[in-house]
Structure 1
């Protein structure tokens, strides 16, 4: 630390000393006022005459200042931490005492000796100088203190992306926080008109100069301070910083500031979701509102990542009632608590239940009479379902069939099933079970109910997905485990996936399989490397990546379409319709036999029956691969 810190005592100065200093400043200001009035040329006779007139006024002067200063409590503020509220009190105290001088002067002139307390020019000049010196003295003490507590080591340079209000707040907070050794190097902004200017002494650079600045200067950190930044632009900024080895952080949304105040502790790490995000999807809000308003909506798997996301978005369209169904009691408790914190939302009902319990489900349909069903309940973890195929069939196939049959029986208006890209040319039990569920939903589309299937890939940050796993492994110091260096996956955010499900539900008329544009596939190993960099760690030095080999049933890459499927465009560029494949009618008998076999036969026989229903189901790296050789 700098030696200047020794000039500040560990304890704050007593208040009486601060009052004495303030009174000395007042006396000094009064003396300057008289010197200015007499042009510093007055002779002894003039001074003696003036002193004879104001000798009692000086006593009143100090008495008034002392009382007013105490009344406004200007001595209570810790000088080294003077704030704008302290300056406001100084201004009010100085102004009040000067007004009192004027009033007392009028009283003296009219009722005592025909002299004013002080000449008007003296009061005005003293007022200006007194407030100026009081404010400057506190500012200088604060400045010296801030400099004294700064580390003597070289300060780390920070770039703030966004020269708006949020960026300015971030700058001030960084400069004010004596615990950190950061210095704001400059602002980055997309606005050409302000580039090259200075804001509060800090230069503004155009965003296009980011790479040049990072190359020429030892920038330690870039802070993104633009709220609602276009995801593609944010991704570009983060990528450039990662490539340059520069840490990236962001200013959180003001809604999350603690008690409306922002501190440096709240400047958060940029997430991998910020890097992979795309331009927000614009939905047909009017149609969604018309379709869901005053309807009873049932969401199965409501406590899961996708299910809870659908619940949150459906509530925005003012349905009559939202029924939340899941068998995960603890997760449902958390979701209920979250929803109860929201204001002015439509009513919702929590139902704990198993979609495979037919009697329970029929009672649910009879009680609430849903007109919309969003079916998100499913077992989704590939390795677990490889070990437990009977549960995959029971939950993903039988549970879906129960809901589909009840929807037709109870004249539900629309049934939207959430499927997965793993249902395309499945290589595992989970994917095959979802493909069978798709077949069931499509086959039922011959009554009043419109059955719609949506199919997409991995969802960023969903329960059990790779990103939360990598985060835990990084927090534990590694290693990060990746199954194969070549493996790739498609990703989309939870809100994006839920928005597309709602949009597909509105535009569907029954029988369609909607496929979502997932953008470019991402190599999982590249994802791991970027997460390491975003965490401020160095691969090979702080943490390792270990390749564990493909898990049973796992693909190197995912597909959204089967070879026999073509697509047609819709009005939404990110939503396509997969052409309906012809299914042999004998397959429905095979599905019945499969469902009857659950819990009554061994795993190998059950999986063999699944392969008969889904001929393209070819197991990969699995014990069931022996069935494909027959």
Structure 2
């Protein structure tokens, strides 16, 4: 079918006719050069005899190497290499033919050197000329478009942009942008730190540098924007952001070259550099065989399935083909959103939705009785620290009673694995939220040994999650500020939602029972610096948008920890996961827990705090700047 379509292409016959003429000219000129443009009659007859054979061999080998299946207007370096191979093979075939028919008697040897060289030049020249004419036709119809370089005569339309990096990736990105007529960009050059590249030109664009001189380069080129490739490291991106801040340039991130080449995205699909890019988180490597071993063909229950972490857990879990995914959430809108995403975006249909609260024991029992989940991911929790300081009874009801209800049902119905999603705020907690999650961890230890393998996963702040500070900062920046930060020295650990969910799923494969897994989150980030970075990434001047310090909110502390006293840190088989083995379990807790629940039912704020202090001795409630708890 492809061959028939090729034969119906009229351009094929034009190529064959044109190429035959060039190959004939190559042999004729080779004889002319050999005999200084005075070919004796004997050799003229020899040339005439060789002419159809030489043309035939070259056309045949060009056809076999696929050179007539391409379009000359898109000729590239790979095509020139193909031409070289085809000409060489055709000349070898011609030499064998002459040796076989005439034993090379009376044939000038130099002709067989000149002929392939000329054929190669003519074939390459024809293709390059066609491509040049095609590219000229795309330019404005102006006499300058033929006589002057493209970037000199092109209209000054679009955003004037510099590309960071004059390496192979930068060159390919520039070529992609230059080839797109309506990219909305006007490239004015490259910026690079490599002294061997500075001062050179790539695709007729100058290479400036180093990055530290970006202020001067931006003024000279009148650049408005910096373009960075998708492969830049987090550390390098931070250097670029600092340089852009000094030069007052916007910064945009280009899509990955692989995505552009595959047609998934256009080179025009620029996006703002996000704070996640500056973190420079490496790709998480999962033990897919181990994860598949405990998730494939299993009934999996995810509580809080519509939340930030819960919904991403669902996305990760369906990769491993569970038999059934039970989506349990108290929020109608969130539950509907993840249901529609699984159905329409991922084509996953083996799910059921349960709208309700995890502290509803009758509902939880009914779900376990009907579905018999074998793996439980418990992500349902209230997480907003200041909100739970004002409403601590909800932390008891949801984070403690709800967790205990799901744990009891898991043991009663023989679930194989239970993974509790915890938090770094459970370490030496200073707030109700952290203390309630610590109680949930201790409860988990109490249930260990009942036939269900329990484990917890502890990590810090997740970028983009509900309650994350970044959406708040972005909204404040859009309104012109001020950006409100609680304290100049406050620091937090951060990771992305996909990274957190992937490591939770991975930890579920590693657990043997009773572990608290801690995700390695890199270095803590100063929130004041995060605010400044977001101002720069938004294309704003930090001098124009004020950062206002408001004081620590109820229950907040300056820094978070991932490990508490009495917990031994062990390495696991995964580079990003550590494990803590605690010596103490939740012993004689029923009476103490009953007192806490009673205080919560009476909406007794101080009673709840006192109850948490009894259960979590390391809990140290703090006061905010205003003096209230």
| Alignment TM-score, normalising by the size of structure 2 | 0.71
Deviation at 1:539, TM superposition (A): 1.5
Q: Is the 8 A contact 2:254 2:267 kept in 1?
A: no
Deviation at 1:263, TM superposition (A): 5.9
Between the two proteins, the alignment pairs up a number of residues equal to: 497
Distance 1:137 1:194, change over 3 A: closer
Deviations 1:206-265 (A, max 9, x none): xxx6535636622643312346x555555555455556654321123576999966264x
Aligned to 1:150: 155
Distance 1:427 1:142, change over 3 A: farther
Deviation at 1:619, TM superposition (A): 0.9
| Greater alpha carbon shift after TM alignment, 497-506 vs 412-421 | 497-506
Q: Is the 8 A contact 2:183 2:267 kept in 1?
A: no
Aligned to 2:214: 214
Distance 1:149 1:595, change over 3 A: same
5 Å-filtered alignment, 1:101-120, equals none
Aligned to 2:610: 608
Deviations 1:167-201 (A, max 9, x none): 635554367557957323037699x9999975433
Identify the match of residue 553 of structure 1 among 537, 555, 561. 555
5 Å-filtered alignment, 1:447-458, equals 447-458=450-461
Aligned to 2:5: none
How far, CA to CA, are the matches of 1:280 and 1:152 in structure 2?
A: 38
Do structure 1's residue 436 and structure 2's residue 436 form an aligned pair?
Answer: no
Identify the match of residue 307 of structure 1 among 295, 306, 310. 310
How far, CA to CA, are the matches of 1:478 and 1:577 in structure 2?
A: 42
Q: Is the 8 A contact 2:302 2:327 kept in 1?
A: yes
How far, CA to CA, are the matches of 2:261 and 2:479 in structure 1?
A: 28
Deviation at 1:148, TM superposition (A): 7.7
How far, CA to CA, are the matches of 1:343 and 1:181 in structure 2?
A: 34
For the residue of structure 2 that corresponds to 1:604, the secondary structure is helix
Deviation at 1:598, TM superposition (A): 2.7
Do structure 1's residue 325 and structure 2's residue 328 form an aligned pair?
Answer: yes
5 Å-filtered alignment, 1:92-491, equals 138=137, 141-142=140-141, 150-151=155-156, 156-161=160-165, 168=172, 171-173=175-177, 182-186=186-190, 199-202=202-205, 210-211=210-211, 214=214, 217-218=217-218, 220-226=224-230, 231=234, 234=237, 237-238=240-241, 241-242=244-245, 245-252=248-255, 262=266, 264=268, 266-343=269-346, 345=348, 347-491=350-494
For the residue of structure 1 that corresponds to 2:337, the secondary structure is helix
Distance 1:580 1:467, change over 3 A: same
Do structure 1's residue 579 and structure 2's residue 581 form an aligned pair?
Answer: yes
How far, CA to CA, are the matches of 1:586 and 1:131 in structure 2?
A: 86
Q: Is the 8 A contact 1:163 1:204 kept in 2?
A: no
| Greater alpha carbon shift after TM alignment, 607-616 vs 237-246 | 237-246
Aligned to 2:592: 590
Deviation at 1:474, TM superposition (A): 1.2
Aligned to 1:512: 515
How far, CA to CA, are the matches of 1:429 and 1:382 in structure 2?
A: 7
How far, CA to CA, are the matches of 2:353 and 2:546 in structure 1?
A: 44
How far, CA to CA, are the matches of 1:245 and 1:397 in structure 2?
A: 50
Two-structure CA RMSD over aligned residues (Å): 3.7
Distance 1:461 1:135, change over 3 A: closer
Deviations 1:268-311 (A, max 9, x none): 11011110132122121111112211111111111111111111
Q: Is the 8 A contact 1:480 1:528 kept in 2?
A: yes
For the residue of structure 2 that corresponds to 1:553, the secondary structure is coil
How far, CA to CA, are the matches of 1:85 and 1:330 in structure 2?
A: 52
Deviation at 1:600, TM superposition (A): 2.6
How far, CA to CA, are the matches of 1:247 and 1:133 in structure 2?
A: 34
Aligned to 2:82: none
How far, CA to CA, are the matches of 1:349 and 1:189 in structure 2?
A: 55
Q: Is the 8 A contact 1:187 1:202 kept in 2?
A: no
Aligned to 2:620: 618
Deviation at 1:137, TM superposition (A): 7.9
Q: Is the 8 A contact 2:72 2:130 kept in 1?
A: no
Do structure 1's residue 535 and structure 2's residue 538 form an aligned pair?
Answer: yes
Deviation at 1:409, TM superposition (A): 0.3
Q: Is the 8 A contact 1:160 1:184 kept in 2?
A: no
Deviations 1:55-90 (A, max 9, x none): xxxxxxxxxxxxxxxxxxxxxxxxxxxxx99989xx
| Alignment TM-score, normalising by the size of structure 1 | 0.70
How far, CA to CA, are the matches of 2:505 and 2:420 in structure 1?
A: 11
Distance 1:148 1:293, change over 3 A: same
How far, CA to CA, are the matches of 1:437 and 1:395 in structure 2?
A: 10
Distance 1:436 1:238, change over 3 A: same
Deviation at 1:534, TM superposition (A): 0.9
Deviation at 1:406, TM superposition (A): 0.3
How far, CA to CA, are the matches of 1:185 and 1:320 in structure 2?
A: 54
How far, CA to CA, are the matches of 1:563 and 1:578 in structure 2?
A: 11
How far, CA to CA, are the matches of 2:157 and 2:233 in structure 1?
A: 39
Distance 1:234 1:282, change over 3 A: farther
Structure 2, unmatched stretches of 5+, are 1-69, 75-125
Distance 1:236 1:441, change over 3 A: farther
For the residue of structure 2 that corresponds to 1:158, the secondary structure is strand
Identify the match of residue 566 of structure 1 among 565, 568, 571. 568
For the residue of structure 2 that corresponds to 1:582, the secondary structure is coil
Distance 1:336 1:258, change over 3 A: farther
How far, CA to CA, are the matches of 2:487 and 2:211 in structure 1?
A: 33
How far, CA to CA, are the matches of 2:277 and 2:560 in structure 1?
A: 23
Q: Is the 8 A contact 1:565 1:579 kept in 2?
A: yes
